[in-house]
Amino acid sequence: MSYLYMGAIVPISIAIPITVGVAKYKRLDQSLKIVFLFLVVNGLTNVIAKLLAVAQVTNLPALHVYTVIELWILLLFYRSILNDIGLSRFIPIIIIAFFVVSVINTLFFQSIFTYNSYTRSLEAILIILFAIIYFIKRLDKVEQSAKGTAIAIINSALLFYFSGALILFIVSNVIVTDIKLGAAIWNVHATLVLLMYILFAVALYIYKP
């Protein structure tokens, strides 16, 4: 049952927000089109990981690549919604720096065949910081529009997921020695992913230009 949940139900559930995104794609603004891109890349990565697993080939190299792409897309999303000239200048630098750190991590610390907990943790911290920055900047600019609500829901989903997953990323290379504990924690991670997908679907559904 645990394998069915983590290996099938949760990955397939990404079809929900993607379907909503396809239906409303022409009406989405730039920031939500970036979110849709994130979902598509996430879905394709799920498919690749599943195919590799079926072929009994480790999917960890794909995760190393996906981590860099994921951060790149999400920081582009924050660049589009923050509208902050200062932050906009730093985001490309952060993306490039993260890519360099990821390469160094793969070459010297965590090989491409090892779970990249260091860069996953760093990515989570960066997204959490940007999510908090968004909320701080919007404290005195509460948007009552459907677009403002949709963006707030997506930001909340990202903050919730990456905050919950951060500890898992940090200890991931330790818990693998305890199979039962590892399975329990990855089930929690799968649930965080599922909730993120649901919140994304809600946000895209209620969005109006």
The DSSP-derived string for 126-151 is HHHHHHHHHHHHTTTS---SHHHHHH
Number of other CB atoms surrounding residue 13 within 10 Å: 19
Taking the chain (209 residues) in runs of 10, the rounded mean pLDDT of each run is 74 94 93 96 91 85 94 96 80 95 94 90 96 85 72 95 86 63 76 94 91
This prediction's pTM? 0.91
Give the Cα separation of 101 and 203 in Å (integer). Answer: 33
Q: Residue 167's pLDDT is what?
A: 82
Give the Cα separation of 150 and 5 in Å (integer). Answer: 28
90-102 pLDDT per residue, tens: 899 999 999 999 9
Q: Residue 182's pLDDT is what?
A: 65
Q: Residue 115's pLDDT is what?
A: 86
Q: Residue 179's pLDDT is what?
A: 63
